[in-house]
Structure 1
Amino acid sequence: MTTSVIVWDRESDPPTDMKEILSWQSYVQRSNVSSIPLYLENHAERLKKKYLAFIHDLGESKIGGKRVIDHFSEKDGFSFWWMTLLAEKSPLKSPGIYDCLRIMALEEILLERKPSGVILKSFNRELGQIIHVLCKNLAINFTWQPGDRPQKEWSLRKLYRALPYPVQGLVWFVVHLVTRWPLRNLEAPAWFSGEGDIFLCSYFIHLDPVSCAKGHFYSRQWEKLPKYIHDSGRRTNWIQHFMPNPVVPNVQTGLEWLRSFNLDSEKQGKHSFLDTYLTWKVVVRVLKNWFWLNALSWRLRKIQSAFYPKGSAVWLWPILRGDWWASVNGATAINNCLWMELFDAALGDMPRQKTGFYLHEKQGWESALIRAWRKHGHGEIIGVLHFPEAFWLLSHFDDPRSVQSKQWCSMPLPDRIAVIGPVAWKAFTDGGYRSEQLVEVEALRYLNLLKENEEPAPGSANRQTLKHSVSASAKGSVLILGDISPKLTHNFLGLVENAMKLLPSNYKFTFKPHPGNAISLAKYPGLQVDEIEDALHRILADFEVVLTTCNTSSALDAYLGGLTVIIYSDGRSFNLSPLRRHSDVHFISTPEELAEVLQKGDQNTAVDSEYNEFFFLDPELPRWKKLLQRNSN
């Protein structure tokens, strides 16, 4: 047994004069400091499987002689459980998942080192509670030293989060109705009803602004596929998720664009927003279901005891209770009820569709779509991956028992998942999916990586060199890519701002915001950058270096384009980059590290064989054509 260890959860670096420090939020390691995030990375496979098993077991746990999944069930065999934040497991929506994995890593460290005591230096009440319970269960002395909690400025968002969860839910619903009610003004399209017509569900973001402003629908999430469908004599019906973004900043712009597309529906497809199906009847049904979930939360009030992973002394309830309450009586709960009713109305209004596609991200709305699709007797529904798999994007992974279950209220799954590359295929088969549940398709968003004048013959694209030739004027030019997370983007830009003070003046920085997260650069007066919103593939050749966060897959575009890639990952959240284990990609966490990497000038050393890991690429779309032709028979 060793002496006491200190768990250091502070923004500042741990002191050098203390013994046995376990850093909670940093990858830094030295003689007296061990990193919990680094331990998690080094034992990622085992701990990831352990968390996925915990979520499966939580749904299967019984309260009052009935499975939790069954408590959430509808008469048709659908369970709201699969729409909860707990079952969704998105690190972007549920940042506490990272704390859960770190706590599980800490448990293993304590079992190995067997300290006499643990001293926690942290302001985090939930962390203090959870480590206290862990130490009690392991018979280890525990001391919590919270120190003086820093004063935080109040904001409307923080005030909202301080409200009781049911009040949050009602506030969210009222705001959503007020902002989206004008979308009801869109004329309901007379949906195409031909045998070969195709349904698609998509996000109204990542649009080409020049084309769309002229009435020509072009989505960078689907690229050339809609044109191929039209050229093959088939028509498309589109349900769009409206999301304000820099390209479509308001409802009025969205309505104008959809009306212009529908004027040429034979070529552009028929389009409607999901929120166009808002009615007072829908509102009443949403509230009815939400009240039912509120009552259910009372019947499941003893669920806290189920928040122990099997064979573990860790109690995860203090971290995950916010996700639980949001999912049963908060904003997530009422949002899920709304999705259920909107998809029911939309797909009930639509004539039978033989084939449907949607963007597969394992978000809650997808379960509502699948349920309504089958309820109204439509044909095959296929989820389409549109970005590469990331190891820690847990929403894309499930315990194999959940995937393979045939029980009542089993997890809603599409008939097949369209997989865009070998890495994703292996991830799904390793996760319990059968090969017949998957189908290969070209990665539509990444076809632009192929050289314009060296497009391979059909079927041979995976052997093609994908690197762009970087222009001579790009020397010293750095492209900064924004993130969809406001908090991560703020920390990231602050780091770049501080790094600029350490760099010579010959670097030229340009910032491209994420389409779903508008940023005011005025908040960063020391950040001397230009701003650009052009499509990424059109501007990459103008830069030598791409700097981004660990949350976005855009780094992969730059990597395959031959640029030097630097990724910000500081240990405070999951490394969600698809380039996580690539040795020629630079991961930095401090301004000093960023300045050092930039001045060192290391080059991207990717070889052609690595490209085969990520994507199926062929400009002729043979895999897509095969899939569509099979579904037309």
Structure 2
Amino acid sequence: MVQNISLILLDEGENWNGESRVIAHWTELNVAESQESIPQRVEERALRIKAEYLAWVHDLGEISIKGETLGASLKVLNNLSYWWMIAPVLKSPFESDSLYTVFKLRTLEQLYFEKNCCGLIYQGNNLALHRTLQDWCGKLGHPYRRFCSKKKIVSREKGVRKWLRKLPYWVQALAFLIKSWYLRFRHISPTRSGAAKQLCEEGGVTIVTYFPNIDMEKTRRGEYWSQYWRSLHPVLDQLPFKINWVWFYFESSGFKFEEAVSLRDTCNQTNPKKNQYFFIEEFLTPSAFLKALMLYLKIYRKGLRLKDVQSAFSFPGSSMNFFPIMEREWKASLYGNIAMEGALRIVMFDCMAKILPATPWGLFTWENLSWEFGLISAWRRHQKNTKIFACQIGFFRDFDLRLYSDPRVFQKTGNEAMLLPDKLCVYDNEGIPVVRSTGFPGEKTAKVEALRYFDLKGGYSIYKKQLPASGRTLLVIMGITDRENQLQFQLLREAAVMGGVANYSQILIKPHPALSPGGLKPVYELNFKFSIKNQSLSELWPVIDVVFGANSTGATWEASWFGIPVIALGAVNSLNLNPLAGLPGVNFVTNSSDLVEQLKNPFPVIVDDHFFTLDEDLKLWKDLLQG
């Protein structure tokens, strides 16, 4: 009889043969009409839960820790609280599943009370989920049971990384340090005192930018050309001061750090009096390394004082504590590899800001990530007259929560305030209203031309055409995460078996520029012929007929601009991060049957033809940088 008033929660691939009034699926999108899909319900309620989560993050920072707020208690430098660099506060949907899991838990809780349930049975092997549900039912005084599945959870982490996850967090931090030395620091020499003095005397501005994502051919000739800044390079060359470029290297499939060092040396031979290039790692001297270790220990000690904070991981009025879901990244942020990485970056940017001038301004690529707070705080400490400009480099997506905060965050002052640039440079026409709607100060926003998207100018619907019945060319655009790419190519393999690619004579694969070193593995498991293409998308658009894009890529929006039919991977066990979300006609696929249908009959999605500011004279950028 208990089952008739219980909610049955089935994890991936599970079935329930008993009786129950409410059966809910934790991961499945397509379920029987009489049953509930938690992912479907999340999609319907996501905007409300987003507001709740942002408010919860703010309130968590206000908890009192020995007479001061949590945010204040994590102050590590005179103008920097480490609070802003902790994973649950950064709210990245790319780093782990935890954020989406919290959304699902909130949805499950609402469903439970909506259906007047008085007990819960969970069938699955997710231990963190089990702990959360067991604790919640205990607080409610409701019965709870768990049936373990015979299926084992397959970890996405392999090899050494999987093994390290089982070790103490300080060991993980040490392992990160060793890995960083082996892959990066041993290939580069720290800046010497004599060179540092000369750099200070030479003056100039500083631009911190991701690397590579470059025009490789130009850069190998010594002409650095970033895909992030593109047509701004000639404008910068005309400015009456030196440009100091600091490259923030990210691991890329097939592109090693030592190769990047060689490119830096080549570029520095071209015109070092005008453009000089550095890696942020060059500023980690032996003494700075010791400072980073001490800072890590400081963060570690502060983290030990926060054990009572775990009880606050619940929404107002809710007795469901979701700390077990976020435990790993919370502890990694305070004791593990994330803490060590944060300490190193804070110190490297501190040393950089002491050495490299940023007069009259400093500029960086903005995604509201942890390293950006280290950079802004360093410039505020050591370059007090510097105007700090941050440039948007991606779409404002509703559920990329990194870009959003509770409005109360922007009302704080002093050392507890979020570190903000003097100007956030926004290049799409919807961006500034979106940013200001969060409470971000309007006077700190600036409209600029969309440097990354000038290839779109004059090309609206230019490649719209009648699709051939056969002999088509399909472009598969990969995402940034291994998880997403594994799903994308699994569906593509299954679709091929079902005849979905029969009308296509060529299948081209475009990897993401920040693909992990092993990110191409699912590509090589394909059961048909394909070609991997590393040239720019602007070279590929004219020769393709259809695009199949990862959920997280903005390139599906670009293809739609050109009039190319688009199929977008749906958000499976994640928030929908595609910029096409909400537009009529978009084809999100989550299973191979849907993919087969869309491959046979694709059609374009209509996007706003005035979305970007694309004036080639770059007047807005010139006024900002010369003002």
What CA distance in whole angstroms lies between the structure 1 residues aligned with 2:373 and 2:555?
27
- The answer to whether 1:159 aligns with 2:198 is no
Cα pair distance change 1:467/1:475, threshold 3 Å: farther
- The answer to whether 1:174 aligns with 2:178 is yes
CA contact (8 A) 2:471 2:503 kept: no
Among 619, 624, 628, the alignment partner of 2:621 is: 624
Cα pair distance change 1:595/1:193, threshold 3 Å: farther
Q: Equivalent residue for 1:221?
A: 228
Superposed, which structure 2 residues align to 1:296-307 within 5 Å? 296-307=302-313
Partner SS state of residue 567, structure 2: strand
Q: Equivalent residue for 1:462?
A: none
- The answer to whether 1:505 aligns with 2:502 is yes
What CA distance in whole angstroms lies between the structure 1 residues aligned with 2:405 and 2:398?
12
- The answer to whether 1:579 aligns with 2:575 is no
Cα pair distance change 1:17/1:132, threshold 3 Å: closer
Partner SS state of residue 92, structure 1: coil
1:449 deviation in Å? 0.6
Q: Deviations over 1:533-580 (max 9, x none)?
A: 111121012111111221222211112121111111253111111111
Among 359, 367, 375, the alignment partner of 1:361 is: 367
1:471 deviation in Å? 9.7
Single out whichever of 427-436 and 259-268 deviates more from structure 2: 259-268
Single out whichever of 75-84 and 49-58 deviates more from structure 2: 75-84
Cα pair distance change 1:265/1:114, threshold 3 Å: farther
CA contact (8 A) 2:478 2:510 kept: yes
Single out whichever of 340-349 and 173-182 deviates more from structure 2: 173-182
CA contact (8 A) 1:475 1:543 kept: no
Counterpart residue identity of residue 502, structure 2: S
Q: Deviations over 1:458-494 (max 9, x none)?
A: xxxxxxx464456988962111111211122112211
Among 393, 411, 422, the alignment partner of 1:415 is: 422
Partner SS state of residue 247, structure 2: strand
- The answer to whether 1:129 aligns with 2:135 is no
- The answer to whether 1:482 aligns with 2:478 is yes
Counterpart residue identity of residue 212, structure 2: I
1:520 deviation in Å? 3.3
CA contact (8 A) 1:370 1:414 kept: yes
Counterpart residue identity of residue 420, structure 2: L
Counterpart residue identity of residue 564, structure 1: P
1:530 deviation in Å? 1.5
Partner SS state of residue 245, structure 2: strand
Q: Equivalent residue for 1:567?
A: 568
Among 296, 305, 319, the alignment partner of 2:325 is: 319
Q: Equivalent residue for 1:50?
A: 52
Counterpart residue identity of residue 143, structure 2: N
Q: Equivalent residue for 1:269?
A: 275
Counterpart residue identity of residue 391, structure 2: V
CA contact (8 A) 1:382 1:415 kept: yes
Counterpart residue identity of residue 626, structure 2: Q
Cα pair distance change 1:475/1:356, threshold 3 Å: farther
CA contact (8 A) 2:190 2:283 kept: no
CA contact (8 A) 2:46 2:103 kept: no
Cα pair distance change 1:586/1:192, threshold 3 Å: farther
Q: RMSD of aligned C-alpha atoms? A: 2.5
* Count of paired positions: 612
Q: Equivalent residue for 1:206?
A: 213
What CA distance in whole angstroms lies between the structure 2 residues aligned with 1:223 and 1:372?
27
- The answer to whether 1:594 aligns with 2:619 is no
Q: TM-score w.r.t. structure 2 length? A: 0.92
Among 396, 410, 433, the alignment partner of 1:403 is: 410
What CA distance in whole angstroms lies between the structure 2 residues aligned with 1:406 and 1:34?
45
Single out whichever of 75-84 and 199-208 deviates more from structure 2: 75-84
CA contact (8 A) 2:81 2:415 kept: no
Unmatched runs of 5 consecutive residues or more in structure 1: 453-464
1:605 deviation in Å? 4.4
Q: Deviations over 1:173-225 (max 9, x none)?
A: 11102221234337758548678x43210011211111111111111011110
1:142 deviation in Å? 2.1
1:268 deviation in Å? 6.5
What CA distance in whole angstroms lies between the structure 1 residues aligned with 2:18 and 2:492?
27
Partner SS state of residue 439, structure 1: strand
Superposed, which structure 2 residues align to 1:94-113 within 5 Å? 94-113=96-115
- Identical aligned pairs, as a percentage? 25
What CA distance in whole angstroms lies between the structure 1 residues aligned with 2:147 and 2:200?
65
- The answer to whether 1:343 aligns with 2:376 is no
Single out whichever of 440-449 and 104-113 deviates more from structure 2: 104-113
Counterpart residue identity of residue 175, structure 1: K
Partner SS state of residue 510, structure 1: strand
What CA distance in whole angstroms lies between the structure 2 residues aligned with 1:595 and 1:625?
48
CA contact (8 A) 1:419 1:440 kept: yes
1:64 deviation in Å? 2.5
Q: Equivalent residue for 2:513?
A: 515
Single out whichever of 294-303 and 467-476 deviates more from structure 2: 467-476
Q: Equivalent residue for 2:392?
A: 385
CA contact (8 A) 1:357 1:384 kept: yes
What CA distance in whole angstroms lies between the structure 2 residues aligned with 1:502 and 1:17?
36
Q: Deviations over 1:403-445 (max 9, x none)?
A: 2211432111111210111222122111001221110011111
CA contact (8 A) 1:274 1:346 kept: yes
CA contact (8 A) 2:475 2:508 kept: yes
CA contact (8 A) 2:464 2:564 kept: no
What CA distance in whole angstroms lies between the structure 2 residues aligned with 1:592 and 1:16?
29
1:266 deviation in Å? 5.7
